[in-house]
């Protein structure tokens, strides 16, 4: 507080000070009341929100609790860890949410009663008591004003009397000095000075007496005023403030503490409830839930298997070939079943390819097949292909079970299975070269890339359903030799067999049939006319993976896109390709599946164009020279006509790129190192990872970064074991083909199953639950 002025009126300054104090007291009380009102309103509004949420939560929890939940019991055994099935955990979730809702409603009642209501009462009381307290302090201030006004009066009187006494005192001092010197003036004598001195002295005494009385009165009034000021500040003012506060600070602290404590209790209950839910949910497993379901629904665990029931104590329990007719019948049945297995394998592979195309189209945002805009949507086609794969797998499993029964009965099943696989691969090559052309008398044929993202399919009938057309098209590509005619009845029931394609296949089968190659002397072919090849050989291929161009001279491709190989790259493992737009560029060789061994001639003079799958087999005989057209381009010779080398028992590969292991079971190597191949199915399936040995260390590595070679590092035929190189087109003079060399039978079997595994991996459909395929690594760069 500022000190009072040394000069001036004390009462005036004190009145201004007291007026300001009253105003501040009133403002302080108003702030306190506003805070109480804010706390009250906040509590009310928050309680309303909490109440709405809690009532809604309680309502839905009770609703789902009252709903009939399957009472699937948990398995409780002594010494076994307590576990819960998902229905029990769901019931726990509902019960805990109901408890939390009730706890929140109880907290709302606490907030309403102990905070909102009490804050309102306290605020109203403070507003009422403040008026009375302020009026009392004003009266006290008036009394203090009277005391201070007495100080002002006595002070003024004291100053007046003291001034007069001081003047007379100075005069008396002058007169006394003159008398002491006994020196008068010319006009005043010593006698007159003595008279004046006596008169001034008596007056001085009178004034000094008055001054002393005034001083005493001033000191007394000052002491009284100070005592009154102390009383006002220490007692009256503090009492007024306390009365107006009415313990507001303690009440606010209690309200806020209650709010925090209640919320912490609610949060603690929430944490306990949801912690319980979390612990139970983390123990949910499919195996335990199935055990509980089997306990509640025993019928789900019944696996029906039929046993042989002998008649009249028949001791025989397996197939027998005691009679000649039975042996012939069972042999024929084994032959038919082997053909059916091969046929279903190819049907699964082809349907998986179609499924992969539809899935890619759907993932790219399309709703219908651009090749069949009037047909069903992609989801319908995908379901149709999946259903076709399912039925083919079922038929395959049935046929394999029958073959196993025949094998147990002593029937030579493996011989027919091997023959069926060889004939299946041979027929697949014929089907790929004949059916895909659809060559007629005018030389027009089916677009070989009709299954790509860009080309349109011209084969669909206008009013036919797309699903039936797709199945018919798959079946057209799976035409079989007459050998399997007895085993085709079940498949013919699912997919109609095309009849119109048979004459054309008969007319063109010999062109691409490696068994029809002229095995005679070379001199017999010297007089045969040589068909000139174009200067630039073009080959059809399909993109196995999507690839984004990293350099200006590279080409961006899409998975399953149809391309044309127009040349070999200037680096290892790269080819120059062209898409349907005419764009050209380099693409990785391992990203392509070349579908032919004959260049597509752009001349209109060639009416028939044949295409063989890249996985077709070269049926050549040792010690026989191959006749290669002298007009073939260097690109064609380097990419397609690489000589095939005899396989050895031990396989090797050479690193095309540097590879750093990313896991403990992987192998690290540098470009050019030769690795011994241990197995091509490192994880039990053909997922693109091989296992090899390098410097005594075993490990896995991706097959995309290596190329098969011999033990000296010399490259083998293009495509390695997976894609044996095809031969040049055979002569048109077709003598009877010799028997197929036995050493190629095993290769044909591997090629067929590897191509099937590749198709399954590309489509994302894994019938037996194998590991997913590895996408091609994007970090491998072309080396110049």
pLDDT in tens, 608-621: 333 333 333 343 33
Ranked by mean pLDDT, the top range of 172-186, 716-730, 748-762 is 172-186
**Residue 774 and residue 170: Cα distance in Å, rounded?**
123
Q: What percent helix, strand, coil does the chain show, rounded to 5?
A: 55, 10, 40
For the beta sheet containing 674-679, the strands, ordered from the edge strand earlier in sequence to the opposite edge, are 697-702, 689-694, 674-679, 651-655, 706-709
Query: What's the rounded mean pLDDT across residues 583-591?
Result: 88
Q: Counting every residue, how long is the chain?
A: 784
- CATH class given for the domain over 10-152+231-267: mainly alpha
pLDDT-derived band at 537 (thresholds 50, 70, 90) equals: low
pLDDT at 750 over 60: no
Within 10 angstroms of residue 74's Cβ, the number of other Cβ atoms is 14
**Residue 413 and residue 435: Cα distance in Å, rounded?**
31
pLDDT digits (tens, 9 = 90+) for 225-244: 999 999 999 999 999 999 99
Whether the CB-CB separation of 720 and 314 falls below 8 Å is answered with no
Query: At 476, phi and psi to the nearest 5?
Result: -60, -40
pLDDT-derived band at 185 (thresholds 50, 70, 90) equals: low
Residue 755: CB partners within 8 Å, gap ≥ 6? 349, 613, 615, 722
Half-sphere exposure (Cβ direction) of 44: Cα atoms closer than 13 Å: 11
Where is average pLDDT lowest: 320-324, 405-409, 500-504?
A: 500-504
CA distances from 472 to 48, 92, 151, 258 (A): 67, 54, 124, 78
CATH 2.30.30.40 fits 527-622+630-640, yes or no: yes
Within 10 angstroms of residue 32's Cβ, the number of other Cβ atoms is 21
Whether the CB-CB separation of 732 and 745 falls below 8 Å is answered with no
**Residue 602 and residue 539: Cα distance in Å, rounded?**
11
Q: What is the dihedral of CA 655, 658, 661, 667, to 10 degrees?
A: 20
Q: According to the model, what pLDDT value does residue 571 have?
A: 57
For the beta sheet containing 562-568, the strands, ordered from the edge strand earlier in sequence to the opposite edge, are 584-588, 574-578, 562-568, 539-543, 592-594
Q: According to the model, what pLDDT value does residue 483 have?
A: 37
pLDDT-derived band at 273 (thresholds 50, 70, 90) equals: very high
Nearest to 358 by CA among 335, 375, 374, 381: 381
pLDDT at 200 over 80: no
Q: What is the dihedral of CA 657, 660, 664, 667, to 10 degrees?
A: 30
Burial class (CB in 10 A: 0-12, 13-18, 19+), 387: middle
Q: According to the model, what pLDDT value does residue 368 have?
A: 87
pLDDT at 502 over 90: no
| Six token digits for residue 264 | 């912490």
Query: At 687, phi and psi to the nearest 5?
Result: -105, 15
Nearest to 710 by CA among 656, 657, 650, 655: 650
Bridge partners, 557 (sequence order): 547
**Residue 118 and residue 247: Cα distance in Å, rounded?**
13
Burial class (CB in 10 A: 0-12, 13-18, 19+), 560: buried
**Residue 731 and residue 531: Cα distance in Å, rounded?**
10
Whether the CB-CB separation of 199 and 175 falls below 8 Å is answered with no
Query: What's the rounded mean pLDDT across residues 621-649?
Result: 41
Query: What's the rounded mean pLDDT across residues 466-489?
Result: 40
CA distances from 114 to 39, 109, 354, 390 (A): 12, 8, 72, 69
Query: What's the rounded mean pLDDT across residues 576-590?
Result: 88
Element (H, E) at 708: strand 706-709
Within 10 angstroms of residue 708's Cβ, the number of other Cβ atoms is 21
Element (H, E) at 106: helix 86-111
| Six token digits for residue 504 | 């054309």
Whether the CB-CB separation of 67 and 270 falls below 8 Å is answered with no
Q: According to the model, what pLDDT value does residue 649 have?
A: 74
| Maximal C-alpha separation, the chain | 192
Q: According to the model, what pLDDT value does residue 729 have?
A: 38
pLDDT-derived band at 747 (thresholds 50, 70, 90) equals: very low
**Residue 470 and residue 385: Cα distance in Å, rounded?**
9
Q: What percent of the chain has pLDDT over 70?
A: 66
**Residue 158 and residue 672: Cα distance in Å, rounded?**
121
pLDDT digits (tens, 9 = 90+) for 300-334: 888 888 888 888 888 888 888 777 788 888 888 88
Q: What percent of the chain has pLDDT over 90?
A: 30
**Residue 438 and residue 500: Cα distance in Å, rounded?**
10
Whether the CB-CB separation of 560 and 447 falls below 8 Å is answered with no
Query: What's the rounded mean pLDDT across residues 185-200?
Result: 65
**Residue 71 and residue 61: Cα distance in Å, rounded?**
17
Q: According to the model, what pLDDT value does residue 302 have?
A: 85
Where is average pLDDT lowest: 235-239, 564-568, 758-762?
A: 758-762
Q: What is the dihedral of CA 518, 523, 527, 533, to 10 degrees?
A: 60
Ranked by mean pLDDT, the top range of 153-162, 165-174, 288-297, 341-350 is 341-350
Within 10 angstroms of residue 673's Cβ, the number of other Cβ atoms is 17
Could you give the 3-state DSSP secondary structure of residue 747? helix
pLDDT at 653 over 90: yes
More confident position, 489 or 278? 278
Query: What's the rounded mean pLDDT across residues 26-30?
Result: 93
More confident position, 493 or 675? 675
**Residue 411 and residue 407: Cα distance in Å, rounded?**
5
**Residue 33 and residue 122: Cα distance in Å, rounded?**
8
Question: Quick one: how far is CA 770 from the chain centroid?
Answer: 23
Within 10 angstroms of residue 399's Cβ, the number of other Cβ atoms is 21
Query: At 381, phi and psi to the nearest 5?
Result: -65, -40
Where is average pLDDT lowest: 18-22, 94-98, 266-270, 533-537?
A: 533-537
Within 10 angstroms of residue 115's Cβ, the number of other Cβ atoms is 23
Burial class (CB in 10 A: 0-12, 13-18, 19+), 104: buried
Whether the CB-CB separation of 98 and 62 falls below 8 Å is answered with yes
Whether the CB-CB separation of 138 and 22 falls below 8 Å is answered with yes
pLDDT-derived band at 418 (thresholds 50, 70, 90) equals: confident
Tokens 């996985």 label which residue?
615
| Six token digits for residue 597 | 């061994």
pLDDT digits (tens, 9 = 90+) for 145-183: 998 988 888 888 888 888 888 887 777 777 677 667 665
- Name the DSSP class of 591: G
Q: According to the model, what pLDDT value does residue 777 have?
A: 42
Nearest to 706 by CA among 695, 720, 726, 687: 720
Whether the CB-CB separation of 354 and 451 falls below 8 Å is answered with yes
| Six token digits for residue 38 | 């804010």
pLDDT at 577 over 80: yes
End-to-end Cα, the chain, rounded Å: 91
> Could you tell me the residue ranges of all domains in the chain?
10-152+231-267, 326-441+466-512, 527-622+630-640
Nearest to 431 by CA among 494, 488, 480: 480
């Amino acid at each position: 507080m500022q000190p009072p002025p040394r000069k001036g009126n004390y009462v005036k300054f004190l009145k201004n000070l007291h007026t300001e104090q009253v105003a501040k007291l009133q403002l302080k009380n108003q702030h306190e009341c506003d805070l109480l009102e804010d706390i009250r309103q906040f509590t009310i509004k928050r309680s309303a929100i909490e109440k709405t949420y809690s009532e809604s939560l309680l309502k839905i929890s009770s609703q789902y609790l009252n709903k009939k939940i399957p009472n699937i019991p948990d398995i409780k055994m002594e010494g076994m860890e307590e576990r819960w099935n998902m229905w029990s955990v769901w019931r726990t979730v509902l019960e805990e949410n109901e408890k939390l809702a009730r706890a929140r409603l109880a907290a709302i009642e606490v907030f309403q009663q102990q905070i909102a209501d009490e804050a309102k009462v306290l605020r109203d009381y403070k507003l009422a008591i403040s008026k009375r307290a302020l009026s009392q302090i004003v009266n006290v201030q008036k009394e203090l004003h009277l005391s201070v006004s007495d100080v002002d009066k006595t002070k003024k009187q004291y100053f007046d009397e003291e001034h007069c006494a001081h003047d007379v005192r100075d005069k008396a001092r002058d007169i006394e000095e003159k008398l002491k010197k006994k020196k008068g003036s010319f006009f005043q004598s010593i006698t007159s000075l003595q008279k004046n001195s006596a008169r001034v002295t008596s007056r001085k005494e009178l004034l000094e007496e008055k001054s002393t009385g005034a001083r005493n009165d001033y000191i007394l009034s000052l002491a009284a005023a100070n005592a009154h000021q102390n009383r006002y500040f220490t007692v009256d003012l503090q009492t007024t403030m306390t009365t107006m506060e009415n313990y507001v600070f303690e009440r606010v602290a209690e309200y806020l503490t209650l709010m925090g404590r209640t919320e912490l209790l609610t949060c603690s209950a929430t944490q306990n409830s949801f912690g319980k839910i979390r612990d139970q949910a983390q123990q949910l497993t499919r195996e335990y839930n199935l055990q509980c379901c089997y306990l509640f629904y025993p019928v789900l665990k019944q696996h029906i298997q039929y046993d042989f029931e002998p008649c009249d104590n028949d001791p025989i329990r397996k197939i027998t070939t005691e009679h000649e007719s039975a042996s012939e019948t069972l042999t024929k049945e084994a032959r038919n079943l082997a053909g059916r297995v091969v046929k279903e394998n190819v049907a699964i592979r082809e349907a998986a390819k179609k499924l992969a195309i539809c899935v890619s189209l759907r993932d790219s945002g399309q709703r219908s097949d651009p090749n069949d805009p009037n047909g069903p949507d992609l989801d319908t086609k995908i379901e149709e292909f999946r259903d076709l794969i399912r039925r083919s797998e079922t038929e395959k499993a049935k046929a394999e079970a029958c073959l196993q029964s025949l094998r147990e009965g002593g029937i030579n099943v493996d011989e027919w299975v091997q023959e069926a696989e060889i004939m299946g691969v041979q027929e697949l090559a014929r089907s790929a070269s004949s059916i895909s052309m659809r060559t007629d008398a005018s030389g027009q044929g089916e677009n070989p890339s009709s299954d790509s993202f860009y080309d349109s399919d011209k084969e669909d009938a206008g009013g036919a359903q797309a699903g039936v057309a797709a199945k018919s098209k798959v079946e057209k590509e799976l035409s079989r030799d007459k050998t399997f005619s007895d085993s085709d009845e079940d498949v013919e029931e699912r997919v109609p067999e095309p009849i119109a394609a048979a004459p054309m296949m008969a007319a063109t089968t010999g062109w691409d049939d490696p068994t029809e190659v002229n095995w005679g002397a070379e001199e017999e072919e010297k007089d045969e006319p040589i068909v000139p090849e174009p200067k630039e050989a073009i080959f059809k291929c399909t993109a196995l993976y999507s690839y984004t161009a990293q350099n200006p001279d590279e080409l961006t491709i899409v998975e399953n896109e149809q391309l044309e190989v127009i040349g070999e790259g200037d680096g290892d493992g790269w080819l120059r390709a062209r898409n349907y737009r005419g764009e050209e560029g380099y693409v990785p060789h391992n990203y392509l599946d070349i579908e032919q061994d004959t260049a597509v001639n752009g001349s209109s003079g060639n009416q028939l164009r044949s295409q063989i799958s890249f996985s077709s087999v070269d049926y050549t005989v040792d010690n026989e020279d191959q006749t290669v057209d002298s007009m073939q381009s260097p690109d064609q010779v380097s990419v397609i006509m690489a000589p095939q080398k005899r396989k050895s028992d031990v396989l090797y590969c050479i690193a095309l790129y540097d590879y750093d292991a990313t896991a403990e079971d992987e192998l690290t190597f540098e470009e050019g190192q030769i690795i011994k191949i241990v197995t091509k199915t490192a994880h039990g399936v053909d997922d693109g990872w091989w296992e090899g040995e390098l410097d005594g260390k075993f490990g896995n590595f991706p097959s995309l970064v290596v190329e098969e070679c011999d033990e000296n590092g010399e490259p083998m035929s293009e495509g390695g074991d997976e894609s044996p190189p095809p031969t040049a087109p055979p002569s048109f003079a077709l003598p009877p083909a010799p028997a197929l060399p036995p050493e190629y039978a095993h290769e044909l079997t591997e090629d067929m199953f590897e191509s099937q595994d590749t198709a399954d991996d590309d489509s994302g459909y894994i019938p037996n639950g194998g590991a997913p395929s590895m996408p091609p690594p994007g970090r491998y760069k072309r080396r110049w």
